[in-house]
Amino acid sequence: MNKNILVTGGNGQLGSEVRELSSTNPNNFFFTDVGELDISNKEAIEAFVLTNKIDTIINCAAYTAVDKAQSDVELADKVNHLAVKYLAQVAKDNGVALIHISTDYVFDGKNYRPYLEDDTTNPKSIYGKTKLDGEKAMMEINPKNSLIIRTAWVYSSFGANFVKTMLKLGKDRDQLTVIYDQVGSPTYARDLAGAILDILPQLQSDSVEIYNYTNEGVLSWFDFAKEIMKMAKLDCTILPIETKDYPTPASRPHYSLLNKAKIKAKFNITIPYWKDSLDECLRRLGERR
């Protein structure tokens, strides 16, 4: 039987990719953004869920301005923590499944091997802390058939992101400096959206489970920028710099590679290699040369 699925943050990178892929999915999707549904209002969530007979919520909404969050603590907490708490409560009270998207920033980046789901968290920024608080609230409330997916370095043909920024700067400048001592894996939001849709019919658990998802491979932001210029055939030299030479309000993890063995084994999904996904995104943007 077809399900009624609410997707919050429907106009963001991930929400937009889910929207596009959902056109061939048999379920009924309801895409909302802050204008249609204020997820920091528990009563509003409950009313929407009951009115539209929602079976599953995919929470793609988040406050993702990492540096701005350092000073905009209240709003970051409202979206990344309290809204997740309310979604989880409504999900539990009404027997609704919940998929919530979290981040590699819940870790401090001091690991020497890819992070497992049960590794110790220690966020170094307000963004990371509020996202972790959201995770904790959801796990405490514990709605059935629900999961948290931690991801990293998200980009898409939709919205603002690193790939689009590099393309723009690569056309305007002969030379750019990019950080080489922060290492992880990018995530093409379209791949993550596809994985979420594959997971939907398999949701079955008594307690909230955490999974990691990024594209396969390991690289630095410097490597990522180099490959973008190469694929887009932009004549822009990329020079490596250290994090200390590019100070930002929020501290970022130096190493945030996520181990994806658990999600692959549990849901039988194949994760694309980061270069293949970048290639597809650039083609969709009309930037692949």
**Res 242 pLDDT > 90:** yes
- Tell me, yes or no, whether 262 lies in a domain: yes
Closest residue by Cα to residue 190 from 156, 148, 152: 156
Closest residue by Cα to residue 57 from 127, 13, 10, 117: 10
**Res 168 pLDDT > 90:** yes
- Tell me, yes or no, whether 8 lies in a domain: yes
Catalytic: 155?
no
- Express each pLDDT in 85-97 by its tens digit: 999 999 999 999 9
Q: What is the mean pLDDT of the chain?
A: 97
| β-bridge partners, 128 | none
3-class secondary-structure state, position 178: strand
Cβ(183)–Cβ(257) under 8 Å?
Answer: yes
Average pLDDT over residues 255-278: 97
- Tell me, yes or no, whether 280 lies in a domain: no
User: Which is the catalytic residue, given 86, 105, 115, 127?
Assistant: 127
Average pLDDT over residues 265-286: 98
- Express each pLDDT in 11-21 by its tens digit: 999 999 999 99
**Res 80 pLDDT > 90:** yes
Average pLDDT over residues 252-265: 96
Average pLDDT over residues 191-196: 98
**CB-CB neighbours of 216 under 10 Å:** 16
| β-bridge partners, 151 | 103
- Tell me, yes or no, whether 32 lies in a domain: yes
- Tell me, yes or no, whether 81 lies in a domain: yes
Average pLDDT over residues 47-58: 98
Q: Give the end-to-end CA distance of the chain in Å, rounded to a whole number.
A: 44
Closest residue by Cα to residue 140 from 203, 208, 93: 208
pLDDT confidence tier of residue 289, bands split at 50, 70 and 90: confident
**Res 1 pLDDT > 90:** no
Give pTM, 2 decimals: 0.97
Helices (H) and strands (E) in the chain, counts: 11, 12
- Tell me, yes or no, whether 230 lies in a domain: no
How many domains does the chain contain in total? 1
Average pLDDT over residues 146-164: 98
Which residue range is the domain that position 64 belongs to?
A: 4-159+186-215+255-271
CATH of the domain at 41: 3.40.50.720
